[in-house]
């Protein structure tokens, strides 16, 4: 059986191993995140949420997913 190649990314500050084939869309699906309620950054660049199906993730990518919480 062919082993699926893994890559390392940093997601909200934590190291995570994912399949090298992952698109951003696959990662968000795995995390079960409501797309309408979050914003995403890859390596400090804001991601267009309409394009997540085509965005490929690379080894060492720094991904931030944020949302709104209570604040003054």
Binding positions for another protein, rule: CB under 8 A: 11-14, 31-34, 36-41, 44, 46-47, 49, 64-72
Cα separation, 22 vs 55, whole angstroms: 9
Nearer to another protein, 3 or 50 (CB): 50
Residue 2 CA to residue 56 CA, distance in Å, equals 21
Structure tokens at 26: 């696959």
- Choose between 23 and 64: whose C-beta lies nearer to another protein: 64
Least CB distance from residue 5 to another protein, whole Å? 23
Any idea of the CA torsion for 29, 17, 22, 9, to the nearest 10 degrees?
Answer: 100
**Which CB, 5 or 32, lies closer to another protein?**
32
């Amino acid at each position: 059986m062919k082993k699926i190649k893994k890559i390392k990314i940093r997601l909200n500050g934590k190291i995570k191993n994912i399949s090298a084939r992952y698109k951003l869309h696959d990662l968000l699906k795995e995390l079960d995140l409501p797309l309408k309620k979050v914003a995403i950054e890859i390596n400090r660049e804001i991601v267009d949420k309409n394009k997540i199906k085509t965005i490929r993730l690379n080894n060492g990518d720094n991904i931030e997913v944020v949302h709104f919480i209570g604040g003054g």
